[in-house]
Amino acid sequence: MRAGHLLLSRSSLSHLLLIFTLLSTFTAASFVRSRAPSPQRTAGAASRRDLISDTVENILHPVIHFAPTVLGISINNKGLQLDNGTNPNDPVQVSQALQTQPPPIDLGQLLQDITPNYNTSKTLDSACSAIHTALPNNDYVGRVCTTPECIQSTTHYYNARQAGNRPACVTYPTSSQDVVTIMKLLREYDVTYAIKAVGHSTGYNFTTALGFSSTTGILIDMSKMKAVSYDASTGIARWEPGQSWGELATTMAQYGAQVVGGRLGAVGPGLSFGGGISWYSGQVGFASDTTHAFEIVLADGTFIIATQDNQYSDLWWAAKVGMNSFGIITAVHSRTLPGTTTYGGSVIFPTDKMLDVLGAYANWINGGADKCKKGFVLPAITDFFVESLITRLNIFEFFFDGTDPGECFKDFNIINTLYDDRKVQPYPDFLNKALTNQQFVFSGFNNALYSSVTDLINKDQLLAIYNAWEEYSVQTSGAYLQNTLSFSVITKTGLAASQANGGNAMGVSGGDGYLWVCYAEGSIPAIGALMDTKLFGLTPQAAQAVPKSQRKLPLYANYARLEQKPFLTYGGIELLRQIKKKYDPDNFISSHTTGHDFY
């Protein structure tokens, strides 16, 4: 078998890499010891906890520093390495270096080689052969990649853990009909699968080791489905889900209209199958609330088009947040917004101004955003571990749909900044060039996102969440490469627009608006599980900053880890379950691909 041969011939390398993995676990622990105090750190000092016991670390100490050098890997006990001449104490210089420098290494391939998770079932082989026979234009590559395209498909994930899964084969549909064929064969052979769009999902099941968009079964890579068309008379765009938001925005610009999508150009359409927080959310609600129709292949291989007005209106409603649970979406018809010129850009605030900044943000979430429904403020407060230091980048992205934001951001504009590149610019440029897009798309690390939610809160409560995160960041410094605290406000105007467009199963009324707290971090896969546990522990801690009575809002599935079971927090969960039973009566989808639980 090809996979077996490959493993045999690579066995010595695999062993070496396995040793590296183990050593890097301990190396990470040594980061903590070698970190110098950060001049950026002004608050939240805390006692430091070791990641492993002193005894183990001391025994291994001599080899810890040696191992990464042997393998020539540039992640060592100093964290991210920057170009000579970059001052790691200067957030702006660090920010610029991070934009121009590729990440030190993409660990996806490495992880797949070290700890390949694969399934040698003969049934899977037969299913792969059948798909290849039915769709000869598709690339059949077996369990071992032989083409750059396949390597890209199986190793390039935002969360490198997903790349640990080696699929039995990869198939690249080019049309809805191809997807119908694939779905029927998946069912006939009763095999597992995953759908991959752009691979930015961080969803990962720690028990099964399977990812939301990776699998040991059959990987359906949508990247050859990128068609876009636009009907100027209705303002509706039909687009296929094999492209990133940056690509789609660039194509749509020629029509002078925009599809409401993600806030970073590098992220993909999976976002709008789980709701989707957009720069335009103050105007329209969630990205999926602008969906006029979904083209979708159901669990039994039937192709349908679901709209608000046809016999599949229940599915149209469910698919807005159902992610991969209702079928394979082959195209979306979206109501667009006119205009492609926007005002926006990135700001970095000094840490000693964060009290003022959080005060301005408290005003923004408590009324400011509702007054300025064409605007959006996205905090991405981030500690990078660079050259043995924590370098804090207090990044805030500002967006306004138009050229003049007027008084929208006035509370922020009176605060000194370290960096400010806000300007009038084409929307695709804004999406692709924002600092967060440049710096938060490090594929190949153990990247994780976690969701927490609260009602709208005051400045003191906001500060409590910030302090808890900062304390965590100090305590675990050196074990992560990037650690981010982010907030997204869901406004009254956005919720009202969502309701007006049929609403969705998250089931939040247009009442008061609310706030999602998102934690994101990137670390080395070898220590990922440990960091995951620690960061996950922070989510309830943050929620404790507000009274329990204010915590009955939904978690956000796109940001939640599997164990958080976000669907169970949805107001519309009962109806969602009924619709799921109707369209996937034998639960084929949920028992054959990884996704969020309904029970």
Sign, CA dihedral 240-244-245-248, equals: negative
- Of 240 and 387, the one with the shorter C-beta distance to ligand FAD is 240
298 binds ligand FAD (CB under 6 A): no
Q: What is the DSSP string of 365-395?
A: IIIIHHH-TTEEEEEEEEEEEETTEEEEEEE
3-state secondary structure of 249: helix
457 binds ligand FAD (CB under 6 A): no
Q: Which of 23, 67, 218, 329 binds ligand FAD (CB under 6 A)?
A: 329
Neighbours of 365 (CB within 10 A): 23
User: Near ligand FAD by CB under 6 A, which window of 80-88, 199-207, 405-413, 489-497?
Assistant: 199-207
- Of 29 and 220, the one with the shorter C-beta distance to ligand FAD is 220
CA distance 506 to 566: 9
- Of 3 and 441, the one with the shorter C-beta distance to ligand FAD is 441
3-state secondary structure of 309: coil
Q: Which of 408, 427, 439 is nearest to 338 (CA)?
A: 427
271 binds ligand FAD (CB under 6 A): yes
- Of 25 and 288, the one with the shorter C-beta distance to ligand FAD is 288
CA distance 305 to 195: 19
263 binds ligand FAD (CB under 6 A): yes
User: Are residues 154 and 100 in contact, defined by beta-carbon separation less than 8 angstroms?
Assistant: no
269 binds ligand FAD (CB under 6 A): yes
372 binds ligand FAD (CB under 6 A): no
376 binds ligand FAD (CB under 6 A): no
The CB-of-242 to ligand FAD minimum distance in angstroms stands at: 8
The CB-of-328 to ligand FAD minimum distance in angstroms stands at: 5
CA distance 377 to 367: 13
519 binds ligand FAD (CB under 6 A): no
User: Are residues 210 and 591 in contact, defined by beta-carbon separation less than 8 angstroms?
Assistant: no
Q: For residue 238, what is the enclosing H or E element?
A: strand 236-239
DSSP 159: B
Q: Total number of residues binding ligand FAD (CB under 6 A)?
A: 35
The CB-of-37 to ligand FAD minimum distance in angstroms stands at: 29
CA distance 457 to 463: 10
User: Near ligand FAD by CB under 6 A, which window of 260-268, 364-372, 417-425, 496-504?
Assistant: 260-268
Site string for ligand FAD, 212-231 (x = CB under 6 A): xx--------x---------
198 binds ligand FAD (CB under 6 A): yes
Region of 85 (left: φ > 0; alpha: ψ -120 to 50; beta: rest) is left
Of residues 406-445, those binding ligand FAD (CB under 6 A)? 440-441
The CB-of-165 to ligand FAD minimum distance in angstroms stands at: 12
* 303-310 CB contacts, 8 Å cutoff, 24+ apart: 303/176, 303/177, 303/179, 303/180, 303/330, 307/333, 308/502
User: Are residues 377 and 409 in contact, defined by beta-carbon separation less than 8 angstroms?
Assistant: yes
268 binds ligand FAD (CB under 6 A): yes
564 binds ligand FAD (CB under 6 A): no
User: Near ligand FAD by CB under 6 A, which window of 113-121, 125-133, 267-275, 367-375?
Assistant: 267-275
558 binds ligand FAD (CB under 6 A): yes
CA distance 341 to 86: 34
301 binds ligand FAD (CB under 6 A): no
Site string for ligand FAD, 104-143 (x = CB under 6 A): ----------------------------------------
Residues that bind ligand FAD (CB under 6 A): 158, 194-203, 212-213, 222, 241, 262-264, 267-271, 273-274, 276-277, 323-324, 328-329, 440-441, 558, 595
